[in-house]
Amino acid sequence: MMVALRQALRLARINSVLIRHGLDEIILATPLMRPLRFVLYLLPWNWFRRAQPPRAVRLRRALEELGPIFVKFGQIMSTRRDLLPEDIADELAELQDRVHPFPGEQARAMVETALGKPVSELFAHFDEVPLASASIAQVHSARLLDGREVVVKVVRPGIEAIIRRDLSLLYLVAELAERYWSEGRRLRPVESVGEYERTILDELDLMREAASASQLRRNFEGSALLYVPEIHWDYTRPRVMVMERVSGIAISDVARLRAAGVDLKVLAERGVEIFFTQVMRHNFFHADMHPGNIFVARDNPAAPRYIAIDFGIMGSLAPADQRYLAENFLAFFNRDYRRVAELHVASGWVPRGTRVNEFEAAIRSVCEPIFERPLKDISFGGLLLRLFQTARRFHMEVQPQLLLLQKTLLNVEGLGRQLYPELDLWSTAKPFLERWMSEQLGSRALLRELRYQAPRWGETLPALPGLAHEVLQQARAGQLRLDLGSTEIERLRRDLRRANQRSVLSVLGAALVVSATLLLGLPQTPGPVMAGVPLVSWILGGLGLYLMLVVAAAGDGG
């Protein structure tokens, strides 16, 4: 019950922030709240509305005020150009983690608690002034007793409770969208929030981040493309991580890169190669490659090497998705739109009954105009938007497991456009993909798969004749059947009815709370009409909270 009360209060605060930023029309534009749109005409500030910044700017500012979890969610949602208008997607891409640091002495105490020793016994020097502070953690410089320079990453205190509180609200909003929005089923917002939940909760475990950094370092061991700092495992715990301190030129500082003599064309091409190497060859990729996490080594300007930091968000693909993407990329680069359409149908991403020739023509009309153009003349964001609009026509479902990859691809585009706008992305990526496909389909791939499967086949093959005989005997005797009795079916029906009733009550309760919040936002001007507004607001709010508490109690009771 207390959880439901806290959710209702947090929801009321979110609505008040949206109203303060002039976004009350967003609240009342949802299908759930549409019957209450008349409230807009009762709000005095809408009678004489002053000029305001564009809606995308107002939304970005509201998310920044709501806190780091909403900022991070906005960053990820900026890649969902199938879901958002282009102006909003572009503005959300500008969101940054502008979070005040927590006290350095508190960070020092957390390090001592995690490692079980005073900082003076662990480090020759520990700087309490943080190098950087983000929504999940902050970083301090330090020096080990043997003189090696390191950085110490410390998880922000109390952040997990804030994350879980806000995640529950995001799930509530996503469930309402999926239930009442016509596009909800296709866009699968609940699954998108689920992907975000897994991503952000993984960031809280610095042991996981350290393991990811070690894996990426091993993947690029001896490579001239990418350097990954070393993890000091003796000093790493779930809430504290110590890593080698690296130095380089920030990849966003193009003026310094030019001054250092860095070949920007080679640097941009290597960025594309790193992306495809991680995604296709290693199937393990850095999914947060924004400019703040990427540096360039100074030692070899003619053949520059990337330096990566912050490994809290990593991605990988199922083998089927990986193969599907590779074939799509290759067919796309070869302008084989028929193959692209066939792959979409074969994968089940568009309905089986889709006319391949119509889908092929639609894809051609979107993709053909961008070929033989340098990167400066291509917008992947615009391309994705047009592809999603085409997909909507053919009822293509969004794949939430590919959100991180899409986010990474947009980051790579941004870096390439900044470094070398004349980059020919197609000629850079195509040879790599052709080589990868030949490795996957050639004789070496067959031998590799045989070696991988041989131990399992050795265990299962001797048992197969006996298992086959047993199944055939059961089939002959008519004993192969699905055993689901009428009692279980009736219980499922009963549970579904109860869940539906609870959903209706919680939706009604949330609507009443939002209505009360909007009415309380009315300026207290004298007059017989306005005199009763506070009383009505408290009655509506109280009734809404009561309904939500009833639903919570029913859910706890099973």
Could you read off the pLDDT of 214-270 as tens digits, one per residue? Answer: 999 999 998 999 999 999 999 999 999 999 999 999 988 899 999 999 999 999 889
The label of the residue with tokens 């070398």 reads: 420
| Per-residue pLDDT reduced to its tens digit, 78-98 | 766 555 677 787 777 777 666
Q: Please report how the helices 486-520 and 159-180 are oriented relative to each other, as an axis angle in degrees rounded to 10.
A: 100
The share of the chain scoring above pLDDT 70, in percent, equals: 61
Residue 249 phi, psi dihedral angles, 5° rounding:
-95, 130
What integer pLDDT is reported at residue 125 of this predicted model?
Answer: 96
Between 153 and 383, name the one with better pLDDT: 153
CATH 3.30.200.20 in the chain is located at 99-157+205-245
The pairs formed by 19-24 with CB atoms below 8 angstroms and a separation of 24 or more are 19/517, 19/518, 19/521, 20/62, 21/58, 21/59, 21/61, 21/62, 21/65, 22/49, 22/52, 22/58, 23/55, 23/58, 23/59, 23/62, 24/518
Query: Taking a C-beta distance cutoff of 8 angstroms, is the pair 136, 312 a contact?
Result: yes
Superfamily, domain 99-157+205-245:
Phosphorylase Kinase; domain 1 (3.30.200.20)
Which residues does the annotation mark as catalytic?
Answer: 288
What integer pLDDT is reported at residue 93 of this predicted model?
Answer: 72
The label of the residue with tokens 């502070």 reads: 133
Between 194 and 488, name the one with better pLDDT: 194
Measured CA distances, 189 to 171, 183, 237 (Å): 9, 10, 34
Between 409 and 278, name the one with better pLDDT: 278
What integer pLDDT is reported at residue 324 of this predicted model?
Answer: 74
Alpha-carbon distance of 502 to 297, in angstroms, equals: 58
pTM of the model: 0.68
DSSP 8-class letter at 83? T
Please give the angle made by the CA atoms of 172, 197 and 183, to the nearest 5 degrees: 50
Please give the angle made by the CA atoms of 445, 447 and 449, to the nearest 5 degrees: 70
Query: Taking a C-beta distance cutoff of 8 angstroms, is the pair 236, 242 a contact?
Result: yes
Alpha-carbon distance of 516 to 542, in angstroms, equals: 9
Which range has the worst mean pLDDT, 139-143, 153-157, 534-538? 534-538
Map 184-225 to HEC letters. HHHHCHHHHHHHHHHHHHHHCCHHHHHHHHHHHHHHCCCCCC
Residues 6+ apart with CB under 8 A from 433: 276, 280, 326, 329, 330, 333
What integer pLDDT is reported at residue 529 of this predicted model?
Answer: 46
pLDDT at 379 over 80: no
- From 118, 119, 116, 158, select the one nearest 137 (Cα to Cα): 158
DSSP 8-class letter at 370? G
Between 513 and 165, name the one with better pLDDT: 165
Between 508 and 92, name the one with better pLDDT: 92
Between 397 and 179, name the one with better pLDDT: 179
Alpha-carbon distance of 435 to 333, in angstroms, equals: 14
At 389, is the pLDDT very low, low, confident or very high (cuts 50, 70, 90)?
Answer: low
pLDDT at 384 over 80: no
H and E: helices and strands count for the chain: 25, 11
Please give the angle made by the CA atoms of 212, 216 and 221, to the nearest 5 degrees: 145
Q: In Å, how far from its chain's centre is CA 470?
A: 47
Q: Which two tokens stand for residue 470?
A: 């047993």
What integer pLDDT is reported at residue 527 of this predicted model?
Answer: 53
Q: In Å, how far from its chain's centre is CA 7?
A: 23
pLDDT at 102 over 80: yes
The pairs formed by 339-344 with CB atoms below 8 angstroms and a separation of 24 or more are 344/396
At 327, is the pLDDT very low, low, confident or very high (cuts 50, 70, 90)?
Answer: confident
Query: Taking a C-beta distance cutoff of 8 angstroms, is the pair 555, 4 a contact?
Result: no
At 139, is the pLDDT very low, low, confident or very high (cuts 50, 70, 90)?
Answer: very high
Alpha-carbon distance of 385 to 80, in angstroms, equals: 9
| Per-residue pLDDT reduced to its tens digit, 179-220 | 766 656 666 778 778 877 888 888 899 999 999 999 999 999
DSSP 8-class letter at 481? -
pLDDT at 106 over 70: yes
Return mean pLDDT, the chain. 76
At 390, is the pLDDT very low, low, confident or very high (cuts 50, 70, 90)?
Answer: confident
Q: In Å, how far from its chain's centre is CA 197?
A: 8
pLDDT at 420 over 70: yes
Alpha-carbon distance of 159 to 112, in angstroms, equals: 19
pLDDT at 308 over 90: yes
Query: Taking a C-beta distance cutoff of 8 angstroms, is the pair 224, 305 a contact?
Result: yes
At 167, is the pLDDT very low, low, confident or very high (cuts 50, 70, 90)?
Answer: confident
- From 553, 558, 557, 543, select the one nearest 510 (Cα to Cα): 543
- From 287, 82, 86, 93, select the one nearest 188 (Cα to Cα): 82
> What number is the average pLDDT over the span 103-127?
95
